[in-house]
Amino acid sequence: MSVAKVAALAYYPVKGLAGIPVDSAEVGPTGLLNDRLFMLVEPDGTFLSQRKLPAMATLRAELAGDTLQLSAPDAPDLELAIKYDGKRRDVSLFGKWFGQGVVQDPAADEWFTARLGTPAALVRVTPEHERPGWGAHRGLTGYGDAHALMITSLSSLDGLNARIVERGGEVIPMNRFRPNIVVSGWPEPHTEDKVLRMTAGAVEIGYSARGIRCAVPTVDQLTGAKSGPEPTRTLATYRREPAYGGGVSFGIKAAVLAGGTIRVGDEIAVREWIPDGTDPAQD
């Protein structure tokens, strides 16, 4: 019998920008260290994402100590000192969460605005930021959509790609779903849907809710161009979720129950399964 393991890890320093793959990471209450602690916002504080600006996928932000290094194709690199506190501004996510962000270097705003062709300002979570998620295990999150972790599995992607090919389409890579943790070794697609609690390395993880997908998976993460209708078209044939407003799902959202170090290759042990035919996020 195959053993489930961590196949890949990634974090996203700036919400909506390119993911940074890592071999290991420290995991705290809001997820992988430094995941989505920065965000780009419009002049009114509304967050920016690939839903509106798919070109964000081509922009890269990496952390090096107390600096943030920005890079993009055919653009000058920019290195900024991170401001952990100071001047603040109001920010919002989905018109449902309203909070504040610490204003960063104006040079970053100019750099992003030039790359994206629309006003964009960079902010970071405040020192006292504490934003709860929702679902079976609520947990906490930074500027993530609503949860600390996005978890997918290779078997789920293989199953999806087989269906896409049957429909005459081309396979898609896992990065379309922007996961934090990718699991190998589960023989059945969507096994992650059934996991209530699991451990990965020193980290304990609790299921929050199904991962309902927006338009972002139709964006090529290398080119920043929309290349739909896949995978949404095929997911809609077998992954509709009536309990979530009819959206399509792939992967799960999860909370951190106990932090620690996680590494690629760590064994994953399921501690508690969700009973068949139930979804504790809906209880």
| Structural domains in the chain plus CATH codes | 5-32+133-282 (2.40.33.20), 38-131 (no CATH)
Handedness of CA 108, 11, 174, 156 (dihedral sign): negative
Q: What is the pLDDT of residues 195-240, one digit of tens each?
A: 999 999 999 999 999 999 999 999 999 999 998 899 999 999 999 9
Q: Supply the pTM of this predicted model.
A: 0.97
Amino acid at 97: W
Which tokens belong to 4? 């489930």
Which tokens belong to 161? 């790609």
Alpha helices by DSSP H, listed for the chain, are 106-116, 154-166, 232-235
From residue 8, give the alpha-carbon distance in Å to each of 27, 181, 276: 14, 6, 28
Amino acid at 263: R
| pLDDT reported for residue 74 | 87
Order across the sheet with 31-32: list the strands: 31-32, 24-28, 260-263
Residues of the chain with pLDDT under 70: 1
* Phi/psi-derived region of residue 197, left when phi > 0, alpha when psi is between -120 and 50, beta in every other case: beta
CA contacts within 13 A on the Cβ side of 27: 29
| pLDDT reported for residue 258 | 98
| pLDDT reported for residue 227 | 87
| pLDDT reported for residue 274 | 98
Residue 182's φ and ψ, nearest 5 degrees, are -115, 130
| pLDDT reported for residue 47 | 98
Single out the residue of 132, 145, 135, 134 nearest to residue 282, CA to CA: 135
Residues 153 and 183: their CA atoms lie apart, in Å, by 4
- Other C-beta atoms closer than 10 Å to the C-beta of 33 total 16
Residues 215 and 230: their CA atoms lie apart, in Å, by 10
